[in-house]
Amino acid sequence: MGKVNVIYLKKVKWTSLHFILGLLLLSAVGFYIYFQWFYAGRHHLTDLIGLAGIIISIDLILGPILSFWLLSPVKTKKENIINLLLIIFLQLSSLGYGINQIDGQRLAYIIKWQASYFAVSKSDAREYGVSENFYRFNEPLVGSEKREMYDYLLKKSIPPIEMYEFFELSSFENECQPICGVITKNGIINITKSNDVLTFNKSLR
C-alpha cells in the first residue's frame, strides 16, 4: 500500500509541475496577445474570452491530466520521455492552432458601406494585405468597366464589405469625428481616437 501511495504522490508532483509550467507559459502568451493584439479595447470586437477558454481547457487542464495518466515512476525513463514528448507535442499543436484562431479574430479594417461602418476581422477578410484603417466602399456604376467584376463577386456570395477591389482609403478624422459606432459580431462598438491610437468601447445603446 505504501508503494502505491509513493507512486501516486510522484504522479501528483509531476502533474502539479506540469500545471504550473503550463500556467506560466499560457500567462505569458496571454499577456502578449492581449496587450499587443487586442489593446485599446480591441477585445470588444470578438469573443476573445470564449476562444481563450477553449485554449485553457485544452492546454491547462487536458495536459496535466495526460501527464497524470501517462507518466509513472514505475515506467522506464525512455517510456516517460516518449510520453512526455507526445504530451508536449499535442499541447504545442493545440496552442498553435488556438493562437492562429485568435489571430484570425484581430481587426483587419473598418469599411463604410451604405452609411454604416463595419469592423472586419482577419478571418473574414479576403485579402490580408489590406492594412488596419478606415475605408469607403466605392460601388462601381452600372455599365462601368468594374461593374462586371462587382456583379461576379456578388454571384460568388462575397459581401461588399469584403470587396477590397473597390475600397477607397479614408481615415478616422474623415469618418468619425469625434466618435462613431461600428457594427461587429458583438454588436455596436464605439470608436474614439486619443494620442493617435484608436480606442474601442462598448456602446451604451
List helix spans (H) across the chain: 2-37, 48-56, 63-70, 77-103, 147-155, 172-175
Residue 196 confidence class, pLDDT cut points 50, 70, 90 = confident
Q: What is the mean pLDDT of residues 78-87?
A: 90
Which pLDDT tens digit goes with each residue over 109-145?
999 999 899 999 998 898 767 788 999 999 999 888 8
- pLDDT value at residue 147: 93
Which pLDDT tens digit goes with each residue over 155-187?
999 999 999 999 999 999 999 888 899 999 888
Distance CA 77, CA 80 (A): 5
Contact in structure between 51 and 98 (CB atoms under 8 Å): yes
Helix (H) or strand (E) holding 134: strand 134-137
Dihedral sign for Cα atoms in the order 41, 43, 44, 49: negative
Of 172, 194, 191, residue with least CA distance to 180: 191
Q: Is 2's pLDDT higher than 70?
A: no
Contacts of 78 (CB under 8 A, 6+ apart): none
- pLDDT value at residue 205: 52
Radius of gyration of the chain (CA): 24
Q: What is the mean pLDDT of residues 51-56?
A: 78
Distance CA 82, CA 70 (A): 10
Which pLDDT tens digit goes with each residue over 91-111?
888 888 888 988 988 999 999
Amino acid at 14: W
Which pLDDT tens digit goes with each residue over 4-46?
778 888 888 888 988 998 889 888 998 999 999 999 999 888 8
- pLDDT value at residue 204: 54
63: its cell numbers? 495536459
- pLDDT value at residue 11: 86
- pLDDT value at residue 128: 66
Question: How many other CB atoms sit within 10 Å of the CB of residue 14?
Answer: 18
